Each structure stands twice: as structure tokens, then as C-alpha cells.
Amino acid sequence: MVPFAGWEMPVQYKGIVDEHKAVRERVGVFDISHMGQFLVEGRDAEAFLNRMLTNNVAVLAPGQGQYTLQLNENGGVIDDLIVYRLSENEFFLVVNASKIEEDFAWLKKHLGEDDAVRLVDISAQTGGLAVQGPMSQEVFHKVFGSEAPFPPRNTIFVSLTESGVLYLCGTGYTGEEGFEFFAPAPEITLWFEKLAIAAQESGGMACGLGARDTLRLEMGYPLNGNDLAPDKTPLEAGLGFFVDLTKENFVGREVLLKQKNEGVSTRLTGFRMTGQSPPPRAHYLVWNEGKAVGEACSGGLSPSLGYGVGMAYLPAALAKPGNALEIEIRGKRYPAETVKKPFYHKT
């Protein structure tokens, strides 16, 4: 157990490698109760969120969700999050644990007096679980019944029960098929036990933060606070697909528009170790032709691939795959090369 964003979080149950492989090959259950949840409701909710987020929520039909980002005035990333449309004027946001207070305050700060919008932070009342892996549907039907509809990717089902609202989302952070499930906090232990037992029957297991990090890293998914930061824009992070510059106005748009027209000077770039080496970690220096050109944002040993991988903001000229690098690890440099993300591909 380790402290994380005010929580005590499990790094591992059985072991990071075993849990990682369980998700890739079978199924794993993660406690994600540390994540934050907001409700944004009202006649102007869609217009308000389109001013605050990079993606275009207007394209979402009720029951659909999308990955998006909340930026500061300089175009830097405050947070990356998922927004789901519950109905025409209701939205459900899932935000990062360490950003709950900052995100909510930022949204509230930009709420105009004439905006018909209600913001509600339900994070403290809501717990969350993520079930991920090729056997996640089997686990789902064991727990929710054979007739229950498994949520397709980027969708949300909402169910009202005697104890409160259940949110079932077709999303995840591992690159595998799966779902996320949010329920009233007092019930989340019971749900965790049900899902963990069902996963164990399918050859899976409970998984901690360690496996969650190695799984997302293999897919090249950014981690807020490491790969995403207030001084880095989504275009520099390679997330331009989730930025709709055709929207007339959203926070940070002018900076991104300029970058789009002029190009970015640095890019978040994937790299792999090409020889025997200790695993790369965040903040390790990255070298090219005898010159320090950046530092790793994320890094580690890929259990699926058997070698070290990582990401670093490098000069745009070095961002293309195939460039030779060196990663400085404990005072010694080890050979690496730039590669295209994701690092891991299903066979």
C-alpha cells in the first residue's frame, strides 16, 4: 500500500508482472475509487463544456463518451478526462484523482452568471472499479447476468437502484477490452468482491497501481503529472486527435491554433531500450550525439515485450522513429531508439 493523492492505494496484490499478464491474457479487476466524478447539468451544459474542453461534446449522443482535455490559458494540460453524455442536458465526467479539486475550481471559475449550468462533485460519494482483459465480458455476465448488455467502447449505461445511481462505462486504461463501473461508495467493497471472485473463476485476479502503470505505458497512454503537464500542450503530447480546433472558442485554443499553423518544437516521443540495461524511469536524462536533449517522462520494463520502454519530450527533429538515443541510468548511458507508439500490439 502506498499514499497516492490522499488515498492509500494498492501497488500490487500478487505481483506486478503476474497482474499485468493476467490482464493481457485473461482479466483483472482494479479499484479506481480514487478517480473523481463530476455531474454537469443544465440547459447550457453542452455549450459550457465545449468552452472548457478540447474535444467537441456536441457530437455525443446520449449514452456516448469521449476522451478530452482541460487546458489552462496557455494551452497547457490541467487534466485529461472522459466525458459522457447522459441526456441532452446532463454530462458525467471522470477526472484524475490528484486533479479533483483543481478541475472543479477551474470549471467553477469559468462559469458565467448567465450560464444555466449546475456543477456537482460526487467524487466522495462514488467508488469505482475497472475490469480489463479479454475475458472481461465473461466476468461481466457472471456478475450482472447473462442478459445484461455489455457496454461497447466509449458508451455509458446508467441504472437507478434503491441505493443510488450505477454508471457502467465502456472505457479503460489498459488497451484491452473491458469496462469501468461507478457505484455509491458504501457498496463498492461488495461489488469489488463480486467482480474479483468472478475474475478469479476466469483465471484472473485483483490488480494494483503497478500493473495499471505498466499496462498503460505499453500502450503509450499518457499519465497526467508525468507525460501531461501545465507547460505542455496536447499537440506537443501527440493528442491532436482529441482537439477540435473548428470550435469557435475554448480555453487555450489560440495557442493551439498557432502551434498547428507553425508546428511544435518538441513532441512526446516513444523510445525503447536496444540492449541490456536497467529499466528507464521518469526524469532520466535522454542523450543524442553527446548532447542531453530531454528527460524521460514515463518509463519502465514492459512485461509483455521483455525490454524497457518510455516516453520523453524531444526536439521535433528527433521525434521520428529510428533515431538513436542514450538513456542515462544511474550515471551510465544505455542505447535506445525512438519508436512509434503504442509499444505493444496484440498478436
Residues 271 and 209 in one domain: no
Between CA 308 and CA 287 the distance in angstroms is 16
Q: Are the beta carbons of 297 and 238 closer than 8 angstroms?
A: no
pLDDT the model gives residue 42 = 98
Cell 490488480 identifies what position?
A: 207
pLDDT for position 163: 84
Same domain, 209 and 285: no
DSSP H helices, 82-128, are 100-109
Low-confidence residues of the chain, pLDDT below 70?
none
Q: Are residues 208 and 287 in the same domain?
A: no
State the sign of the Cα–Cα–Cα–Cα dihedral 184, 185, 190, 191: positive
Q: What is the pLDDT of residue 37?
A: 98
Domain harbouring 273, CATH code? 2.40.30.110
Q: State which H helix or E strand residue 336 sits in.
A: strand 332-339
Contacts of 337 (CB under 8 A, 6+ apart): 271, 272, 274, 321, 322, 323, 324, 325
What are the grid coordinates assigned to 74, written together? 496557455
Q: CA torsion sign, 15 to 16 to 18 to 22?
A: positive
Q: Is residue 250 part of a domain?
A: no
Question: What is the pLDDT at residue 38?
Answer: 98
Inside any domain, residue 202: yes
197 and 84 within one domain: yes
Cell numbers 479503460 correspond to what residue? 172
Contact 189, 197 (CB under 8 A): no
Domain's final residue, options 216, 233, 249: 216
159 and 84 co-located in one domain: yes
Based on the fold, state whether residues 328 and 210 are members of the same structural domain: no
159, 292: one domain: no
Task: Point out the domain boundary residue: 157, 184, 216.
Answer: 216
Asked whether residue 8 is assigned to any structural domain, the reply reads yes
Q: State the residue range of the domain holding 12.
A: 2-216
How confident is the model at residue 162, as a pLDDT?
Answer: 85
